Amino acid sequence: MPLFSSPQDVRERLGQTGYLADDAIATTVFLADALEKPLLVEGPAGTGKTELAKAVTEAASAALVRLQCYEGLDEARALYEWNYRKQLLRIQAAGDGQKWEETHDDIFSEEFLLARPLLTAIRRAEPTVLLVDETDKADVEVEGLLLEVLSDFQVTVPELGTITATQKPFVVLTSNATRELSEALKRRCLFLHMDYPDAERERQIVLTRVPEVPEKLAEELVRTVRTLRALELKKGPSIAESIDWARTLVALGADSLDERVVAQTLGVVLKHASDHARAAKELGLAQ
Amino acid sequence: MSEERTGLIDRHVAFVGALRGAGLPVSMVESIDAVQAMTVIDLLDREQLRTAYAAACVKRAPHRATFDRLFDLWWPPAIGDGVAGDEFSEDGEGTSASGELQDVPPADLDAMKQMLRQQLRDVLLSGDDEALRRLARASVNGLGRTESQPGRQSWFTYRVLRALSPETLMVDLLKAVLEGEEQGGLAEKVARQMLGERIKRFEEYVEAEVRRRLAEDRGVENIQKTAVKPLIEQVDFLRASKDEIAELRRRVYPLARRLATRLTAKRRLGRSGRLDVRRTVRASLSSGGVPLTTIHRPHKPHKPELVVLCDVSGSVAAFAHFTVLLAYALREQFAKVRVFAFVDTCDEVTRFFEHGGDVADALARMAKEADVVWFDGHSDYGHSFEVFGQKWPDAVTPKTSLLILGDARTNYRALSIPALRSAVRHARHAYWLNPEPRQYWGSGDSAAFSYSDVVPMIECRNAAQLEEFVEGLLPV
């Protein structure tokens, strides 16, 4: 059963959770839900990719199952694992009286299965959002694993048989594009590139996330952040950093962004010393 | 009903064909996904259709610009002058036949220019995107048309932009935005950036509108070839425009990160490190003393020193800059990076790229301060190689990977093959990256073939080829 009825519906319900989606985001989320396809969200760090999954979870009153990817993530961490310590205990506790067949059937039962995120998400009967975070950090083999799970929404455990999803979870994969994901994986997903938002939307995001900030200050802040992004920097400020900046300015009690205030707080938005120096020079700030 | 649907499917198939023609890999499955998406969205909402297509068919962010251009051509926002609203007229001609503008006397044309300019100023100030788009359409309609032959019209971007010259509005706009605040400070920089962005957007809208009108007159198929720019990683270094070079430079760090990640992955896969006995025994305790998994020490990669010798003369400077930047972004992968630049003599420029230093600055200083011109500022490979060998005889060691960047166009001067050969012999590896297409090597004053006898020469015309080369160069 679809979670949303139209892009407009997506937009409104995400808005209620405090996530301001633009038309492209709302439409793509709606399509991913309507076509029951996984949604691959790619974009620079700090543009709200993970937040989107959380907002969808909240809007659809579903539960979030999260698989955080990292180098060296394997089947045992992503899919399922047999609790072999417990199995060992079980074998030792059985003593000599029990036949091997009985023990064998017993130790490969539900009780000894450790379900990891992918299996958990597939077995849940309630509405579920499966978030595969930072997919690009995982190894190529994990992509192969994801392919199987995401195309058929089923998992085969040799000892137990095939487990098929009764309700397909809404799948969100995020990626920072540190490497290209495989064509096969991309083909199975709908793709959403999430870039820095336009000025108006960013202003609204800042105002929603930091309600204490005066409107005029928020507008100045967004414009300054956009100016910084246009410079040739190693890492331009993301939305998360705009929000941090707004919080900092509120905490400092600043009511407008002049040279002095920017120079004092630039460290909140720019995290490289060379970027800092460059911005100070380009914007004509005192060092 | 059924007839209408066939029309839509035909359009879809042709559009997907055009995407493939422009180098976007759209598979059968993705094409079907797009059609499926059409059944659930509101087809009358053009932006929804665009998003649906993008979600289903465009899986790499750099392809998006190409996609947008083609989408605008194949699913135009309006027909003809666009004054009749967004209704699609039956024959596709209809409203565009009106030719009353040519009959307008020049005085009125001037008046129209003035009016449009005034409107442009207001819209740029307010930042209303929809109004900007409408204004672009009106401006192209009013100012962009010429009668190339009787009965044949053509459309030009530059006519519109010259008539309106949005940049000249900047001073006036700045004054309005700053409202008497001081000039030259932070506020001005920020305002300038914001207005510049809007002006650029207006220019893009005008270009898109001109493309649409041209496509209407001459057919989409004839326009799309010229309308679609090559993907940025396919852009020829030697022919890159200023914008494209800036775009390339912005992509150095993501590219370096991608290369480094791929490399770490490759290193980890080659599990050739020695067995770590202590950790293996420790891990075996949890399985009753049976070492189920063995643990290996990480393999220590061999890190070569990199010496880059690059031609920074005008013709190939863009290529050299990009490659040097990339080398620096990757410096963790090397034990040491030294850069030498030359035009007709050679100088070490490593000092400009100190750790954490600013790249744009470094390039500017390198061009200004380094001693690379000796005689007349035309490339002299022979003299440069000789100076390199004499002044820095110990730069190239058996641990060094030597990288030479240049087009090997010697202006018919001496080649100094022996000097180069001795440097190459000392190095562990040596490569020459040539930004010229292979078929031009050896033509005119190119000494590519003479040099390639001494050092392996590799064609490296665009970022994609460079990426491939660097990945092979880095040690696993």
Please write the tens of the pLDDT for every residue from B312-366: 887 777 787 777 777 777 777 777 888 888 888 888 888 777 655 566 667 777 7
A39-42 β-sheet, strand order: A63-68, A128-133, A170-175, A39-42, A190-193
B54 has pLDDT over 70:
yes
pLDDT in tens, B256-288: 777 777 766 666 665 567 888 888 888 888 887
Is B353 in the same domain as B454? yes
Is B185 in the same domain as B36? no
Is residue B277 assigned to a domain? Answer: no
B35 has pLDDT over 70:
yes
Measure B353 CA to nearest chain A CA, in Å: 12
B379 has pLDDT over 60:
yes
What CATH code is carried by the domain that includes residue B453? Answer: 3.40.50.410
Q: What is the pTM of this model?
A: 0.75
Is B109 in the same domain as B218? yes
Measured distance CA(B209)–CA(B215) in Å, rounded: 10
Is residue B353 assigned to a domain? Answer: yes
Is B44 in the same domain as B110? no
- Residues found in chain B: 476
Q: What is the pLDDT of residue B99?
A: 39
Is B112 in the same domain as B67? no
Measure B251 CA to nearest chain A CA, in Å: 10
pLDDT in tens, A23-77: 999 999 999 999 999 999 998 888 889 999 999 999 999 999 999 998 888 888 8
- What's the mean per-residue pLDDT of chain A? 88
Is residue B290 assigned to a domain? Answer: no
Is residue B144 assigned to a domain? Answer: yes
Collapsing DSSP to helix, strand or coil, B201 comes out as helix
Is B459 in the same domain as B310? yes
Measured distance CA(B362)–CA(B129) in Å, rounded: 38
Is B148 in the same domain as B265? no
- Stronger pLDDT, B358 or B415, i.e. the higher one: B415
For chain B, percent of residues with pLDDT exceeding 70:
85
How does residue B158 score in pLDDT terms, banded at 50, 70 and 90? confident
Q: What is the pLDDT of residue B91?
A: 39
Is B99 in the same domain as B68? no
B86 has pLDDT over 60:
no
Please answer yes or no on whether B33 and A27 come within 8 Å at the CB atom: no
Q: Which range among A102-106, B211-215, B288-292 shows the weakest confidence by mean pLDDT?
A: A102-106
- Stronger pLDDT, A205 or B160, i.e. the higher one: A205
Collapsing DSSP to helix, strand or coil, B188 comes out as helix
Is B194 in the same domain as B313? no
Please answer yes or no on whether A35 and B286 come within 8 Å at the CB atom: no
Is residue B274 assigned to a domain? Answer: no
Measured distance CA(A250)–CA(A243) in Å, rounded: 11
In chain B, positions 26-85, which contact chain A (CB-CB < 8 Å)?
A: 27, 29-30, 33, 36-37, 40-42, 47-48, 51-52, 54-56, 58-61, 64
The dihedral sign for the CA sequence B77, B83, B86, B87: negative
The three-state DSSP-derived secondary structure of chain A is CCCCCCHHHHHHHHHHCCCCCCHHHHHHHHHHHHCCCCEEEECCCCCCHHHHHHHHHHHCCCEEEEEECCCCCCHHHHCEEECHHHHHHHHHHHCCCCCHHHHHHHHCCHHHEEECHHHHHHHCCCCEEEEEECHHHCCHHHHHHHHHHHHHCEEEECCCEEEECCCCCEEEEEECCCCCCCHHHHHHCEEEECCCCCHHHHHHHHHHHCCCCCHHHHHHHHHHHHHHHHCCCCCCCCHHHHHHHHHHHHHHCCCCCCHHHHHHHHHHHCCCHHHHHHHHHHCCCCC
Please answer yes or no on whether A262 and B186 come within 8 Å at the CB atom: yes
Nearest by CB to residue A191, choosing from B42, B58, B357, is B58
Is B175 in the same domain as B256? no
Exposed/middle/buried for A56, CB within 10 Å: 0-12, 13-18, 19+? buried
How does residue B476 score in pLDDT terms, banded at 50, 70 and 90? low
Taking the CA atoms of residue B59, residue B61, residue B62 and residue B65 in that order, the dihedral angle to the nearest 10 degrees is 90
Is B213 in the same domain as B351? no
B40 has pLDDT over 60:
yes
Measured distance CA(A283)–CA(B184) in Å, rounded: 9
Counting as low any pLDDT under 50, the low residues of chain A are: none
B96 has pLDDT over 60:
no
Q: What is the pLDDT of residue B6?
A: 62
Provide the CATH number for the domain formed by A7-72+121-193 in this structure. 3.40.50.300
Exposed/middle/buried for B71, CB within 10 Å: 0-12, 13-18, 19+? buried
Q: At what angle do helices A215-230 and A259-269 cross, to 10 degrees?
A: 70
Collapsing DSSP to helix, strand or coil, B56 comes out as helix
Whether residue A259 lies within 8 A of chain B, CB to CB, comes out as yes
Is residue B451 assigned to a domain? Answer: yes
In chain A, positions 108-147, which contact chain B (CB-CB < 8 Å)?
A: 136, 139-140
Q: Which chain B residues are Cβ-neighbours of A223 within 8 angstroms?
A: 190-191, 193-194
**Count of structural domains, chain B:** 3
Mean pLDDT of B159-169: 82
Q: What is the pLDDT of residue B102?
A: 44
How does residue B135 score in pLDDT terms, banded at 50, 70 and 90? confident
**ipTM for the assembly:** 0.87
- What's the mean per-residue pLDDT of chain B? 79
Residue A101, amino acid = E
B92 has pLDDT over 50:
no
Q: What is the pLDDT of residue B24?
A: 86
Q: What is the pLDDT of residue B30?
A: 93
Is B99 in the same domain as B55? no
Measured distance CA(A67)–CA(A65) in Å, rounded: 7
What residues make up the domain containing B454? 252-269+302-473
Nearest by CB to residue A274, choosing from B254, B265, B358, is B358
Domain residue spans of chain A: 7-72+121-193, 80-115, 199-282
Is residue B279 assigned to a domain? Answer: no
Q: What is the pLDDT of residue B272?
A: 61
